Amino acid sequence: MVRGDDEFADFVRSCSARLTHAAYLLTGDRHQAEDAAQTAFTRTYAAWPRVRRKNPYAYARRVLANHVIDIWRRPLREYATEEMPEPAKVPDISHAVTDREWLSDALSRLTARERAVVVLRHFFDLPEHQVAEELGVSVGTVKSTNSRALAKLRVDGDALVGEVSA
């Protein structure tokens, strides 16, 4: 193998689940998350000789965040067809996964920027200045966006408690 392929394979094995989970939190869709994580690993591999001695997970995480943000910025392209597709069936929510479903649902109600700030700030436990740097915004924007997003999540949490007790 060349260019430290064994070392890169070990890196992918150790970080794959965590990076895919982060991608899922950013996208809200399992298939998009897997594609985004794969893209992040591909781009990290291309830069492997440069990043392997530093912090390859931080590099992959940044590539992932940038890739997902690029997807948000692309215009949505829809193509008209003669036949309407069948509507997606909503899965029945069971009590065993209520918390997970609530979190995914609550994150999907946030804007793309709010979701990115919450995931980077609280899932990755990054300080505000690093989140600001990765997203290309000011620290004040990170603080206000985080505050707004957490307030939305609190309102959603209060609604969930009301539904459960009713």
pLDDT digits over 120-160, tens only?
998 888 999 999 998 999 999 999 999 999 998 887 666 55
| Cα separation, 62 vs 53, whole angstroms | 16
For residue 3, pLDDT over 70 is answered with no
**Global model pTM greater than 0.75:** no
* pLDDT score at 147: 94
121 vs 105, residue with greater confidence: 121
Compare 43 and 86 and report the one with higher pLDDT: 43
What confidence score (pLDDT) does residue 109 get? 86
Closest CA to 142 of 152, 151, 132: 132
As a whole-number percent, the residues of the chain with pLDDT over 90 amount to 25
Q: What is the pLDDT of residue 11?
A: 87
Q: Supply 124's token pair.
A: 């990755």
pLDDT at 59 over 60: yes
Q: How far apart are CA 6 and CA 14, in angstroms?
A: 12
Predicted confidence band at 73 (pLDDT cuts at 50, 70, 90)?
Answer: confident
If residue 21 lies in a helix (H) or strand (E), which one and from where to where? helix 5-27
